[in-house]
Amino acid sequence: MTATIPPATFLPDFLRARAAERPDQPCWVFGDRTWSWSQAWQTVRQAAGALQAAGVRRGDRVAILDKNNPAVLQILLGGCQIGAATTVVNWRLAGDELDYVLNDCGATVVFVGHQLVDQLELVRDRLQHAPTIIVVGGEHDQLEAWLAAGTPSDRLPDVDPGDVCVVMYSSGTTGRPKGVQLTQQAMVEHSLNGAGDTRYGDGDMMLVAMPMFHVGGTSYALLGPVLGVPGYIVPEVDATLMAGGIMAGATHAFLVPAVVAALVAAGPQAMGLFGRLKAVGYGAAPMPLPVLRAAMDAWPDTEFQQVYGMTEFGGVITILDDAAHRDAAHPERLVSAGRPVARAEMRIVDPTTLEDVPTGSSGEVWFRTPQATIGYIGRPDATAELITPDGWVRTGDLGRVDDDGFLFIEDRLKDMIITGGENVYSPEVERVLAEHPAVAEIAIIGVPDDRWGETVKAVVAFRPDQSATADELIAFARERLAGYKAPTSIDVVEALPRNPSGKILKRDLRKPYWGDGARQV
């Protein structure tokens, strides 16, 4: 490690400690601008004061709709100082999804990237709380003046570690996203665990490229102050921007498998450049074994770390470390999700009897951990389905554990598809395509894809004497959903297979694409 991890009760404590310890060293690099640790801490204190001046109080929520930017961290950590929560909104959402999220979280202030102002304006008249709008960046930037006008504020005395500080929206099985509430104490716990045993040294720098509207982006960025490592932040996953980060000295990165697959496909030059990284973490989707083996062969001196988790845990809940990647005696563990992080308990439970299954048998994966969410905004029923009365979180994933405690994820109880690191729930897409006049019934499944891990497929049955082309259905979906949620292919059937109770047999639909193997994700 670069330095001893400072003690922390509240999430901003890590940054405050680094500002005192190394005030003039780089904290964030973004474009042609660098913030030192002390400058970063000052902007967080100013954000806290400016939020108070804007009428934000403990328990309120603000939102930021922007690509990766230090502003996300400034607002989030500033909100922590006053007990407010920040919703980091997926900038790829379509209009009716965007206004739903902003209304559901009840944001009183919305920060919007200058490139996304038009997108916000399309739904502004549908926002129920008439939030204050502050533009970030560009010719008409308002953030800098807003921050400068803020009276620096230390943590308010009534702020509690159990206050919600982050809200991330995770697509819901009912067809609408759910706001996952993460407290300061949960995010502190995740920050202590998220790096695993990856080594950092003086002069190292983290490449922050994964979108901050995911915990994989925000939680990774928040590791910088924990470890005392600066972050090179790029607005989005772009090969040129990421290469620039490596050329500027980035040594560590977290990537989704789709990015690694694209690098492998790009050839030796791209692989050679990214081979400069000392460590690569990956997760958010299964890594195809051929891609992983190609990366390990091309980057023999790079440490690899796979992480498995979910928004409801603030991100990482199990880690497959570099030693397990290279364990010649257990090559099967390359497809394992690893073992739980510190202080996380794990159970494999029969989803019918709710009894623990024997080692090696499949069941639903449950965890109990201080990292866990307190529940979903305004969804007590969904929260009760997620969290048991004694604190176990049901993941909705089916898996098994070997004799040494390594977790293997095999399938999903929930109809979730992970494509390029993006979570897509089938009911959300089905809800949209069911509105097409030609569609009688619809099922959405994930099918294997060499680049994205999975991609979205629609299986449809048409109404009598009606039909539509695949292109028409895909275009219909893309008009109403974020692009990554729309199907990339369509299968037409006379009727969907169902069990005696009428439930669609999605496993039967997936079988031609996944085969008879145990792994169905």
Give residue 94's pLDDT: 80
Give residue 1's pLDDT: 45
What is the pTM for the complete model shown?
A: 0.87
Give residue 519's pLDDT: 52
Give residue 173's pLDDT: 44
Structural domains of the chain, with CATH: 14-155 (3.40.50.980), 345-412 (2.30.38.10), 424-514 (3.30.300.30)
Distance CA 441, CA 460 (A): 6
Decide: helix, strand or coil at residue 69: coil
Q: Are 413 and 398 in contact (CB under 8 A)?
A: yes
User: For residue 296, what are its two tokens?
Assistant: 């390990």
Q: Are 429 and 486 in contact (CB under 8 A)?
A: yes
Decide: helix, strand or coil at residue 186: helix
* Amino acid code (one letter) for 410: E
In sequence order, the 6+-apart residues with CB closer than 8 A to the CB of 520 are 410, 411, 412, 507, 510, 514
* Per-block mean pLDDT, blocks of 10 residues, the chain (521 long): 82 98 98 97 98 98 98 98 97 88 97 97 93 96 97 98 96 72 98 93 96 95 97 95 97 92 90 96 84 94 96 97 96 94 97 95 96 97 97 94 95 79 82 90 91 93 91 95 94 84 78 68 56
CA angle 512, 517, 519 (to 5 degrees): 105
Residue 459 phi/psi, 5° resolution?
-115, 120
Give residue 175's pLDDT: 63
Q: Which residues of 65-104 are buried (b: 16+ CB within 10 A; e: fewer)?
A: bbbbbbbbbbbbbbbbbbbbbbbbbbbbbbeebbbbbbeb
User: Contacts for 394-398 with beta carbons within 8 Å, 24 or more apart?
Assistant: 394/364, 394/366, 395/310, 395/364, 395/365, 395/366, 395/367, 396/364, 397/364, 397/365, 398/351, 398/362, 398/363, 398/364, 398/365
Give residue 521's pLDDT: 56
User: For residue 37, what are its two tokens?
Assistant: 């640790």
Distance CA 225, CA 74 (A): 13
Q: Are 521 and 412 in contact (CB under 8 A)?
A: yes
Q: Which residues of 466-495 are buried (b: 16+ CB within 10 A; e: fewer)?
A: eebeeeebbebbbebbbebbbbeebbeeee
Give residue 17's pLDDT: 98
Q: Are 315 and 307 in contact (CB under 8 A)?
A: yes
